Amino acid sequence: MALDTDFHSHVSRSSAQRMAQAAQEQGLRVLGLSEHVFQMSEAHSLLEHMGLEGPLLRFDTYIAAVRNAAEEQQLDVRLGLEIDFIPEKNEAIQSFLKGKPWDFLIGSVHEIDGGLFEREHYQGKAEGEARWLRYYQLLRAAVKSGYFDVISHPVRMRSTNPYLPATLDEELEQLAAEATQHDVALEINGYDMLTYPNVVRRLVKACTLHRTPISVGSDAHIPARIAQAHQQTNTLLRVAQIKTVRIWKQRVPEEYVF
């Protein structure tokens, strides 16, 4: 059996219906839609610096669109959200999410101490390594916060920062161990898999060592990117002897063998 779920995808550049249609064409059994919280008009004032990826959405219209896409495409579509973990804003952000019928919530770190690291460039090894270490402090805090079912793209720092610390494997192992302890999944992200697979392999090794729950998500922002690295991820996980993938319904985890 191959991977047949994708639990990280966005709708603001297309639509929930088009993303669900693409998932069906790819032969997926379950699609998890997870728009960014900063795309929601109710929460955007807290996150204006993030920059929009498409038109603002309201929570109610987003939820309705996901439900309608599932019905129209006759596909199991799960309702999620990708939420920025920012220590001084977490409580305020979370207040917008209460009482809504989420199937899963993704925690992500894009901002480090006021800076969006995916827009930064580092002046040298010392600065770059220090940024990596602070990144993992925040990821571990996100794991322990109790807010999230899964932590997304735990090696995304590599997108702009080539200064891998000598202790990277230890950082990954500590993150994986704490994720296991708190029953939070770590994501194998399709964009990361295609862009810097060697670092993803090190993440998978840490997850294997600590028996950490694994989630697989393409991070697709357009329909053509749904399941964009599933073949490579499938191979990597099998080599690592990881046999199950975690998904969620109404915040309750499910595991399936692939």
In this prediction, residue 123 carries a pLDDT of: 78
Give the pLDDT band of residue 44 (cuts 50, 70, 90).
very high
Q: What residue segments make up the domains of the chain, in order of their start? A: 5-257
Q: What is the DSSP letter of 249?
A: E
Q: Cα(189)–Cα(6) distance, rounded to whole angstroms?
A: 10
Q: What percent of the chain has pLDDT over 90?
A: 97
List, in order, residues 6 or more apart from 87 with CB less than 8 Å away. Answer: 138, 141
Interior angle at CA 202, CA 258 and CA 199, nearest 5: 105
For 5-257, CATH gives: 3.20.20.140
Radius of gyration of the chain (CA): 17
pLDDT at 120: 86
Mean pLDDT of 66-84: 98
Residue pLDDT, tens place only, 177-213: 999 999 999 999 999 999 999 999 999 999 999 999 9
Average confidence score pLDDT of the chain: 97
pLDDT digits (tens, 9 = 90+) for 6-25: 999 999 999 999 999 999 99
Asked whether residue 62 carries a pLDDT value surpassing 90, the answer given is yes
For 166-182, b/e burial (b = at least 16 CB within 10 A) is eebeebbbbbbbbbbee
> What is residue 122's predicted lDDT score, i.e. its pLDDT?
82
Q: Is the pLDDT of residue 121 over 90?
A: no
State the average pLDDT over residues 43-49. Answer: 94
Give the pTM: 0.97
